[in-house]
A and B are shown apart, each in its own frame.
Chain A
Amino acid sequence: GAVVSQHPSWVICKSGTSVKIECRSLDFQATTMFWYRQFPKQSLMLMATSNEGSKATYEQGVEKDKFLINHASLTLSTLTVTSAHPEDSSFYICSARDGGRGTRTDTQYFGPGTRLTVL
Chain B
Amino acid sequence: KQEVTQIPAALSVPEGENLVLNCSFTDSAIYNLQWFRQDPGKGLTSLLLIQSSQREQTSGRLNASLDKSSGRSTLYIAASQPGDSATYLCAAQTSGSRLTFGEGTQLTVNP
Contacts and interface: CB of A to CB of B under 8 A. Distances in A.
A113 B43 contact: yes
Interface residues on B, range: 20 to 34
Contacts, number: 47
B89 A43 contact: yes
Nearest to B102: A43
Contacts of A43: 89, 101-104
A105 B103 CA distance: 25
A91 B100 CA distance: 17
A9 B43 CA distance: 10
B55 interface: no
Contacts of A44: 44, 89, 91, 99, 101
A110 interface: yes
B43 A34 contact: no
Contact of B42 (A49, A107, A108, A112): A112
B54 interface: no
Interface string A54-83: 000000000000000000000000000000
Residue of A91, A97, A106, A111 with highest tally of chain B CB at under 10 A: A106
Contacts of A108: 97, 99
Contact of B46 (A42, A45, A46, A110): A110
B31 A112 contact: no
Interface of B: 31-32, 36, 41-44, 46, 49, 89, 91, 93, 96-104
Q: Closest 3 A-B residue pairs measured CB to CB?
A: A112-B43, A110-B44, A43-B103
Given A93-B44, A106-B31, A108-B97, 19 more contacts: A6-B43, A32-B97, A42-B103, A43-B102, A44-B89, A44-B99, A46-B98, A49-B96, A49-B97, A49-B98, A95-B99, A106-B97, A107-B49, A108-B99, A109-B46, A110-B43, A112-B43, A113-B41, A113-B42
